[in-house]
Amino acid sequence: MCYPKVLVATPVYLVLLHYPMTNRLGELVTTAVTNMDIHDISRSARTYGIRKYFIVNPLEIQHELVGRLLGHWQTEHSRMHHPDRVSALSVARLARDFDEVKKAIRDEHGEEPEVVLTDARPLPNSISYADYRQELMDPKRTRPCVLVFGTGWGVAEIFHPEVHRILAPVYGPKDEEGEGYNHLSVRSAVAIILDRLFGH
Ligand SMILES: C[S@@+](CC[C@H](N)C(=O)[O-])C[C@H]1O[C@@H](n2cnc3c(N)ncnc32)[C@H](O)[C@@H]1O
C-alpha cells in the first residue's frame, strides 16, 4: 500500500474502542461493534493514509461476528466485484484490548505509539489540530501515533492513564449559548478529524 509520506512523516494508526466506555448513566460498559463503524471508518482511514484501523472489543462473540464480516471482504468474489471496498477494509484489524494494539505497533516500529485521545468534551491540556498537524509533519519524528475514538457515551476515565495527548473537541459555528452542540457520530468525528490533520 502507498502511504502519503509527503504530507505526514509519522506512521498514524486509528483505534475505535468498545471498552472501556461509559453509558448514558456514566457506568462502565462494553459496547457492540456496528457495521457502519467498520465500513465508514475503514473508508476514511484508507483515504487519509492510516496504517491500520484497530477495532478493539474484548468479547469473543463480537470477534466471531466481525471476523466473519471482515473475512467476506477478503474473498476472491469481493476482490473482483468490489475492489475499492476490499482496499478500504484491508486496513481494519480486530483486537481484544489496547495492549494488543500497542504491541502490534511496537512490533512494527520498535517504539511505543503516542496515544492521542479525541473527545467531544473539552478536557484540560488539549492541543489544536493545526499544532498537532505540524508535529506529525516533522520529518525528524519517528514515533508512531495512534488516534483513539470512542463509542457509547465516550471513552471512560479509566483509559486516561494510557493517554499522552488530547485533541481539542471539534465545534461548528458558535451559537448564542456559547460553544454549541457538538455531539458527532464517531464516523463523522473520524472523517472531520482526519481531514483537519491530513487533508489538503
Ligand atoms: C461518544 S461516541 C458516540 C458514538 C455514537 N453511538 C455514534 O453514533 O457514533 C463518539 C466519539 O466520536 C468522537 N467525537 C464525537 N464528537 C466529537 C467532537 N465534537 N470532537 C471530537 N471528537 C468527537 C469521540 O471519539 C467520541 O468518543
Residue 3 has a pLDDT of 53
- Rounded-to-integer distance, Cα 37 and Cα 56, Å: 12
Residue 174 has a pLDDT of 78
Residue 6 has a pLDDT of 47
Joined together, the cell numbers standing for residue 106 give 511496537
What is the count of structural domains for the chain? 1
Q: Which of 16, 37, 39 is nearest to 147 (CA)?
A: 16
Residues of the chain with pLDDT under 70: 1-7, 177-179
- Rounded-to-integer distance, Cα 2 and Cα 5, Å: 9
The residue whose CA is least distant from atom 4 of ligand 1 is 151
CA of 56 to the centre of ligand 1 (A): 16
- Rounded-to-integer distance, Cα 152 and Cα 80, Å: 36
Q: Which of 44, 128, 148, 184 to mutate to test the pocket of ligand 1 (most atoms within 8 A of CB)?
A: 184
- For residues 56 and 98, the answer to whether their CB atoms sit within 8 Å is yes
The residue whose CA is least distant from atom 18 of ligand 1 is 120
Q: Is 129 in the pocket of ligand 1 (CB under 6 A)?
A: no
Q: Which residue range forms the structural domain that includes residue 107?
A: 12-198
- Evaluate whether residue 5 is within a structural domain: no
Residue 56 has a pLDDT of 98
Residue 1 has a pLDDT of 57
Q: Which of 119, 128, 129, 170 to mutate to test the pocket of ligand 1 (most atoms within 8 A of CB)?
A: 119
Give 79-117 pLDDT, tens digit per residue: 888 989 999 999 999 999 999 999 999 999 999 999 999
Instruction: Name the H helices within the chain.
Output: 35-47, 60-72, 76-81, 83-89, 98-109, 129-137, 186-198
- Evaluate whether residue 49 is within a structural domain: yes
- Evaluate whether residue 50 is within a structural domain: yes
- Evaluate whether residue 33 is within a structural domain: yes
CA of 43 to the centre of ligand 1 (A): 17
Residue 178 has a pLDDT of 64
The strands making up 53-56's β-sheet, listed across from edge to edge, are 92-95, 53-56, 12-17, 145-149, 114-117, 165-167, 126-127
Neighbours of 195 (CB within 10 A): 14
- Evaluate whether residue 6 is within a structural domain: no
Q: Is 22 in the pocket of ligand 1 (CB under 6 A)?
A: no
Q: Is 120 in the pocket of ligand 1 (CB under 6 A)?
A: yes
Residue 36, domain CATH: 3.40.1280.10
- Evaluate whether residue 2 is within a structural domain: no
Residues 6+ apart with CB under 8 A from 17: 56, 98, 148, 149, 150, 151, 155, 159
Q: Is 186 in the pocket of ligand 1 (CB under 6 A)?
A: yes
CA of 63 to the centre of ligand 1 (A): 22
pTM for this prediction: 0.94
Q: Which of 15, 186, 187 is nearest to 98 (CA)?
A: 15
Q: Is 128 in the pocket of ligand 1 (CB under 6 A)?
A: no
Look-up of cell digits 461476528: 65
- Rounded-to-integer distance, Cα 170 and Cα 160, Å: 19
- For residues 182 and 170, the answer to whether their CB atoms sit within 8 Å is yes
